[in-house]
Chains A and B, each alone.
Chain A
């Protein structure tokens, strides 16, 4: 057995990783405009980072195509300084009199300098694109042309602008939308030579679209919505205010619905964590008619007004505290558009027709029939046809239980309606102070779960839920239940509680509004049923790049319900050939685990849709749920949200050239790691020892506190062994999880005249090692 000396010669191409596997993955921050009309095409700019080598743009859903026109990577501070110096040198070579001290006071020279300062674009035009390209390349700016510089010059000069590397690079696209493309939001990803970007949102609209044109801070843009209805696309930069003028006839119900947070749900590096749009409406005389900064609980404002007279009105949009940057994008649809503000009931049964009442503005039909299709997380998104147009999207619950309707009066225990469990009740908190009370019979020791679905289905209700015994004593109470699966929710207003009934008898469930509001839109679905331990799964990220034969890291989040605490076994559902999961479990008591997805060495295609399913034994029953792909997004430096995505897409670029095997644990997991000294864990399927590269090292990634990698050895050709040791001071017997070993290569940089520096390069992962800590072997 030979101990690995990390600086000595060890094997090369341990996982036959291509160089691109070590580079950061492409990241998208925004699309501007963030949508286009059906049957039209639009020039769209994507902002992001690590976008070099773009290959294609992928849309979720049919009818959308994009052609990549241009990639731009602006200079960093050092490059900008060097570029400035080079341009100066070129300028002095062309106009030598500008550099001569004896001619500084010459009026002609001074006039020339003044002209140049006043119009730097003329200097750039004089230079021409070819000369600029040569100069740019000399400072290693390979994706920055003269037009880019002209576009960026105002930004470089703006003192309010802060550098944001995550959205500095841009891709310009020509997006074509087919006439039959589904209206609404579609996920958009970019595939590059390096990998696959995260998904961002792009909307297919129903109305004529326009782009805002600056300057429009003071004088409104009159062309953007010359004809109603229309959708205006804009971008708010620091301190920016955008104004648009439109004409409305007396008596017309005009709706202006903004989308901002909906397009870019969370900003990690801004407070409150999204572009908080504020819309203000002015009449012709400049009087403020309305100001809105939200719609019910939704941060995106919606404004509705009946035009008091024929005239031109001005709509203004800005950030609530005048922040701004390129990813503060918005879309405002203005006009006599059908807009649904509420629906009742809030849900229906799968495959069954449900008649619903609609409330809102400009609705030609106040009722509709809904037949819910395949639901995800107990809900679907609906748009209601109103004449030739579709309404705004509405969330609609789907539950197999036959619902009953709440009936007023039911405010007190005396008036409580008796229900049989399990039951699903559709009701409303009809006015401030309204309470809805239901009565049911229960048995001692029985576990009951009561859950409100209201806010998660678009209702403004902020529920309060309590269970009382027959004497009116409160047994359980809940205001807010944090549903970690509701990734776009920041106020978890729905209630949920679980209780073990203390005795046989009658119990009361009382529901109200925490904010003492109420009204026809304050609808709810209350489900009361015997508790049924269960789980849901989320898997992040929604995009992943794995080198052929390599291993990518996925995180599975288990959302455990009603006391379920057991193991969840994971597997791939209809996997493409050659993919495999290692560490495919969520052990008992664990809510979040990292595991690895192994990619085939010679994949049949570059892109693959991966589905993961979890199975758990719940008593006699085996329950199965598919993991919903999600992005783990940060809000305002702190909070994290699992925002659902349509698919988990995996890119495997190319085919492995070296080696024939992929690493595998020598023994099936979970590996038992004793507290009294640890244990060697071996991998097989590795290249021969003499092929290992110099400076190879391994590190545990996100291991639990107290778990350490003590030693690495090559016991024989094709094998690697790792001594893993749990620290009894930090870890207890019974701790379970996965360990992931990351591979690093250390390279020494020897530049003439520069001090010798070493650089560590991330080179991939080994398959996850499922483990359990035990006292001793």
Chain B
């Protein structure tokens, strides 16, 4: 919200008192509380209804309804993926010095991404991302909040901001939480910042790559649905306290939350995680592994209207034996990413879904050949690549450029703020909006432009 109040009004409960303020409980805690008995009692009266349904917020002409963030945890090499430098020589390219053509004239990408190359017409490749930060934590922070780490305020990441503006308070009514992470939280990054645990993502846990994807808190391993129903009935029968206090409004609120939680498990809502409902051929196309099937779950989630999904894709912090890892992981990524783009496109969802691929930074263009690295790449925040597709982004584009070795940005520097602001705009969130800090201050969702990185601002050239 702007300070002058002239734009959107995303939230009506920003000045909640301590009694009904943000809960220090995650959504999973709520579900568990609702399900597993007396702990849930303490939720009553604490605004549980506000967690599961919120006032609708005004929006500014959104083009996109959802974002799928493929978070390349650890920082993927830009040189070996979307910004190849075949002329830089062996010390920079190692064995991956043969980039391939894409279906866009003149655009070449890494040789291990042949499937993605067929969908380059749907991608915008941002080759000039830069923030100059080389630590995982601080780089993850700036990449997903736009703010430099170290200030007084811990800012929320884009997922939490989207959940705030497009979640329950904006009329989102699904039982599935509005901010989902597949499968584990980022760990080194506080996704929700000062917004608190209420806007933290719901981390599914489990492994979609296994025959049965068991979402933690929604499915109990080793227990059939029938048995869960029997357990619920048994609980109802022995819960004499609830029967005696049937008219209590606080308990009624709790029971409503409990029913919703059961609906998520036993009703239709939870079926979004049931990949057996997909055709085997499609599952195969995504790749029968954790990442590929996570992409498929992500598609199912945005199909159900979930506004923000993060796929936390680990394994890109390749200090050691980088090229072996690239040869193992990039084909897996290629398959999942290309299938996701293709599937969204075929279903007509790509126009309303932003797919954002990238990590906290790139990796050092120069290969470290000696032990202990044995052909590794280190952290590199001075120049790296992100890729976006759909949701209003124009495909078949390359924005910015790095030098002949991928060491520095030589054209159109893009600060994370520029990319985040563009995505906010496409989602119908004014990038100049502010949020209420628990201590009362109004905090902009994005920082002012960094004078040290002279960018051209938001990515208007590709929207």
| Residues of A bordering B, CB below 8 Å | 24, 27, 29, 48-50, 164-167, 268-269, 637-638, 699-702, 705, 708, 742, 744, 759-760, 762
Contacts and interface: CB of A to CB of B under 8 A. Distances in A.
Contact of A699 (B91, B320, B373, B407): B91
Contact of B403 (A164, A702, A705): A705
A637 B373 CA distance: 10
B371 A165 contact: yes
A449 to B, nearest CB: 34
Given A49-B374, A167-B372, A742-B90, 8 more contacts: A29-B372, A164-B372, A165-B321, A165-B371, A268-B373, A269-B320, A638-B134, A699-B90
Contacts of A700: 89
Nearest to B405: A705
Given A166-B371, A705-B407, A760 B91 contact: no
Interface of B: 89-91, 95, 134, 319-321, 369-374, 378-379, 403-405, 407
Contacts of B405: 705
Given A269-B319, A705-B403, A705-B407, A49 B371 contact: yes
B371 A27 contact: yes
Contacts, number: 48
Contacts of A167: 372
Nearest to A162: B320
Given A760-B90, A762-B90, A637 B319 contact: yes
Contact of B320 (A165, A708, A762): A165
A760 B95 CA distance: 8
Given A269-B320, A637-B319, A637-B378, A702 B91 contact: yes
Q: Which of B320, B372, B407 has the most CB of A within 10 A?
A: B372
A166 B372 contact: yes
A27 B370 contact: yes
Contacts of A165: 320-321, 371-372, 374
Contact of B91 (A48, A164, A701): A701
Contacts of B404: 708
Given A705-B405, A742-B90, A166 B374 contact: yes
A108 to B, nearest CB: 32
A48 B378 CA distance: 21
Contacts of A742: 90
Contacts of A637: 319, 378-379
Nearest to B371: A166
A281 B134 CA distance: 39
Contacts of A48: 371
Nearest to B91: A701
Contacts of A49: 371, 374
Contacts of B403: 705
Nearest to B321: A165
A765 to B, nearest CB: 13
A29 B95 CA distance: 27
A190 to B, nearest CB: 13
B371 A744 contact: no
Contacts of A24: 369-371
A702 B91 CA distance: 8
A164 B95 CA distance: 22
A708 B404 CA distance: 10
A663 B134 CA distance: 42
Nearest to B92: A699
A744 B405 CA distance: 19
A699 B89 contact: yes
Contacts of B372: 29, 164-167, 268-269
Contacts of B89: 699-700
Interface centre among A637, A700, A744 (most CB of B within 10 A): A637
A269 B90 CA distance: 23
Nearest to A327: B372
Contacts of B91: 699, 701-702
Contacts of A762: 90
A627 B5 CA distance: 68
Contacts of B378: 637-638
Contacts of A708: 404
A215 B233 CA distance: 51
Contacts of A269: 319-320, 372-373
A269 to B, nearest CB: 5
Contacts of A164: 372
Contacts of B379: 637
A50 B405 CA distance: 30
A167 B374 CA distance: 12
B319, B370, B403, B407, most chain A CB atoms within 10 A: B370
Nearest to B378: A637
A702 B90 CA distance: 11
Contacts of A759: 95
Given A268-B373, A705-B405, A744 B90 contact: yes
Max chain B CB contacts within 10 Å: which of A164, A268, A638? Answer: A268
A48 B90 CA distance: 25
Contacts of B407: 705
A167 B320 CA distance: 13
10 contacts: A24-B371, A48-B371, A165-B371, A166-B371, A269-B372, A637-B379, A699-B90, A702-B91, A760-B90, A762-B90
Contacts of A760: 90, 95
A47 to B, nearest CB: 11
A29 B319 CA distance: 17
A164 B379 CA distance: 19
Contacts of B90: 699, 742, 744, 760, 762
B326 to A, nearest CB: 15
Nearest to A757: B95
B458 to A, nearest CB: 29
